[in-house]
Amino acid sequence: METPDNATETSEPTGIAAQDWATASAEPQYRAAVVDLLGALAYGELAAFERLAEDAKLAPTLADKAELAKMASAEFHHFERLTDRLTAVDVEPTGAMEPFAKALDDFHRQTAPSDWLEGLVKAYVGDSIASDFYREVAVRLDSDTRSLVLAVLDDTGHGNFAVEKVRAAIEADPRVGGRLALWARRLMGEALSQAQRVVADRDALSTMLVGGVADGFDLAEVGRMFSRITEAHTKRMAALGLAA
Amino acid sequence: METPDNATETSEPTGIAAQDWATASAEPQYRAAVVDLLGALAYGELAAFERLAEDAKLAPTLADKAELAKMASAEFHHFERLTDRLTAVDVEPTGAMEPFAKALDDFHRQTAPSDWLEGLVKAYVGDSIASDFYREVAVRLDSDTRSLVLAVLDDTGHGNFAVEKVRAAIEADPRVGGRLALWARRLMGEALSQAQRVVADRDALSTMLVGGVADGFDLAEVGRMFSRITEAHTKRMAALGLAA
């Protein structure tokens, strides 16, 4: 089976990426990988909902609180779309999510923001790396799953809101930048360590990630994907005024 | 001006209840009362969103967590409808909500649930008494505001979910009933004391509540309304297996 061997090459889809779900899901290992992916993404959205709702409590103004509540609600609707899809393909959503609950809960527990700005940086960093990760994966997916994954990565608008507020805070007090840069580094470290744990645990998912269900598991390729994601993170932090 | 002198009589609308917003809002005191009402209701929905999202963390299962997140998201959409209406009548929503933030925040702070069941009872009790209160008020409102208020009181579905779970818990361990009955009594006490504070503070709103903008402020009528709400609460608690 042919699949692109590097997610950044996005020419003509080949292999599974050229198929729809009905065709691609006939292969049990591919089906299992997609169920894993949708389960992980769904739990991620539910956890993001909780985290944003929690951060809303730290909001300095009522308008900021309403803005975070709106984002939380958008994440919840993504969660619903993902669990609806799981149900539509005869998978019980809870069962699909459970393997990923611990890693995501651990991540959130170990990175509980201590104030409003840390919460915003976390929302921004977390969203961006999740979005990079799912875009890397999307190119390897069948067309139906790919549209769904790309759709739920869209339109929550956290990015702009967080960037604007964080920039303004650093401008007002440059020392804030140093503290938030350390925080962003810690977030990235925790995210990578949880992600590597998940990859090591879930065979079907990992095999898909590294370039094709039939090609076996290549830890080096996963490493390269993580490097690409880390690089993109570093650039984003620099643009935000934070040395990553 | 004629308005029904008791909210339980809901025959033909008269007075403001027979008018639409365009006509009714020409009177500044009525307009101010409705802005207060929508502001209080909007902040209540935002606070309910936060409370349910917080309770979602206590959920014993992933399915329960998803159910609470769904309710929270529904509350957020009510919040949006109310703030959209405020904006549509040229009122800045934050300004309209702020006078009610302290009372609602105090209520939630003083009644933070210590476990999942307390959270459910609080969601149920809080929703029911808020709903009773707004239904009492709705009969005195112009037709446009009345439809909006009744629409946002609908369809969150907390009630059934909470009742089912609480009943099952009491069946499994009857001692739970005693503890939750005390809890429900405390919630009602706090709710009434915050509500009375708000009523005392907000003249236009209170005047409308007691039967007509032109008729002056009648504390006795407010007292009767609170009695009706308390009675309905007592009946609901008994039906739930909790002596109120």
**CA distance linking residue A123 with residue A72, whole number of Å:** 11
In 3D space, the residue among A209, A160, A236 whose CA is nearest the CA of residue A16 turns out to be A209
Q: Which domain holds residue B160?
A: 24-239
In 3D space, the residue among B74, B217, B240 whose CA is nearest the CA of residue B168 turns out to be B240
Higher pLDDT, A160 or A170: A170
Q: What pLDDT, on a 0 to 100 scale, did the predictor assign at position A198?
A: 80
The reply to whether B198 falls in a domain is: yes
The reply to whether A15 falls in a domain is: no
Helix (H, G, I), strand (E, B) or coil at B203: helix
The reply to whether A38 falls in a domain is: yes
Q: What pLDDT, on a 0 to 100 scale, did the predictor assign at position B244?
A: 52
The reply to whether B70 falls in a domain is: yes
pLDDT confidence tier of residue A60, bands split at 50, 70 and 90: very high
Could you report the predicted ipTM of this complex, rounded to two decimals?
0.75
Reported as a single tens digit per residue, the pLDDT across B3-33 is: 444 444 445 677 888 899 999 999 888 899 8
Binary contact (A69, B79; C-beta < 8 A): yes
Closest residue of chain A to B92, computed from CA coordinates: A63
Chain A segment 22-81 residues within 8 A of B by beta carbon are 43, 46, 49-50, 53-54, 56-57, 61-63, 65-66, 69-70, 72-73, 76-77, 79-80
**pTM for this one?**
0.81
Helices (H), chain B: 21-24, 28-56, 62-88, 93-110, 116-138, 143-152, 158-172, 175-201, 203-209, 219-239
Of B43, B54, B65, the CB nearest to A46: B65
Mutate: best of A52, A57, A65, A105, partner B, most B CBs <10 A: A65
The reply to whether A6 falls in a domain is: no
Closest residue of chain A to B95, computed from CA coordinates: A62
Inter-axis angle of helices A219-239 and A175-201, nearest 10: 160
The reply to whether A45 falls in a domain is: yes
Cβ(B42)–Cβ(B82) below 8 Å: yes
pLDDT confidence tier of residue A219, bands split at 50, 70 and 90: low
Q: How many domains does chain B have?
A: 1
pLDDT tens for each residue of chain B, 244 residues long: 444 444 444 456 778 888 999 999 998 888 998 999 999 999 999 999 999 998 888 899 999 999 999 999 999 999 999 999 999 999 999 999 999 999 899 999 899 999 999 999 998 888 888 888 888 888 889 999 999 999 988 755 667 788 889 999 999 998 999 999 999 989 988 888 888 788 777 777 777 766 554 444 466 777 787 788 888 888 888 888 886 5
The reply to whether A8 falls in a domain is: no
Mutate: best of B46, B65, B77, partner A, most A CBs <10 A: B65
The reply to whether A13 falls in a domain is: no
Query: Could you tell me the CATH number of the domain that includes residue B46?
Result: 1.20.1260.10
Name the DSSP class of B111.
T
